[in-house]
Amino acid sequence: MQTQQHRLKPVTSEEDWAAYHEMRETELFHPLGVDYLKHHPDDRNPSNHPFLILADEEVVGAVRLDHRQDLNRMITRTLAIRSRRQGQGHGSAGMILCEDFARGMGCTEMCLNAHQPALPFYLHRGYRQEEWDPEDRFGSCVQCRKILTDNPEA
């Protein structure tokens, strides 16, 4: 099987923003019945990093990484993979890139609020159910955390 090249593309152009919003609204917010705000201030916070996930330059997903420099923490927000591209390893590849990005920013941990059906996906990727900020919990999501070691295979 041919290996696809994945990369995180920072959301910068109007075209990027349109793809980022469409992906999150269609694949995450809409199925949950949650209203999606295209002008949420958190998306433009300089500490937060919105990305498209590309596989061989095809947009297969979107994610936002929020940096809490004071805590050496990165928070994965609203990871979403295009429904017809789910179950093909793109989410896993995207998470590896997110963790690499976090390490590059000096973070020692990755935290997230896991949507219940996606919890097994995160547990399989080395995350543990662990409360990291009760005030940051989103609805019925489960808080998860992973310590980022220098050696990703460790």
Ligand X SMILES: CC(C)(COP(=O)(O)OP(=O)(O)OC[C@H]1O[C@@H](n2cnc3c(N)ncnc32)[C@H](O)[C@@H]1OP(=O)(O)O)[C@@H](O)C(=O)NCCC(=O)NCCS
Which tokens in the block code for residue 52? 């498209």
Q: Does residue 19 bind ligand X (CB under 6 A)?
A: no
Size of the site for ligand X (CB under 6 A): 19
Judge contact between 115 and 60, C-beta under 8 A: no
Q: Is 30 helix (H, G, I), strand (E, B) or coil?
A: helix
Spell out, one character per residue from 109 to 148, where the chain touches ligand X: x when CB under 6 A holds, - when not.
-----xx-xx-xx--x------------------------
Q: Which runs of consecutive H residues, i.e. helices, occur in 70-145?
A: 90-104, 119-124
- Closer residue to ligand X (CB): 67 or 115: 115
Q: What angle do CA 8, 112, 109 make, to 5 degrees?
A: 80
Report 37-96 residues binding ligand X (CB under 6 A): 79-81, 86-92
Amino acid at 92: S
Q: Does residue 28 bind ligand X (CB under 6 A)?
A: yes
- Judged by the rule CB under 6 A, the positions of this chain that interact with ligand X are 27-28, 79-81, 86-92, 114-115, 117-118, 120-121, 124
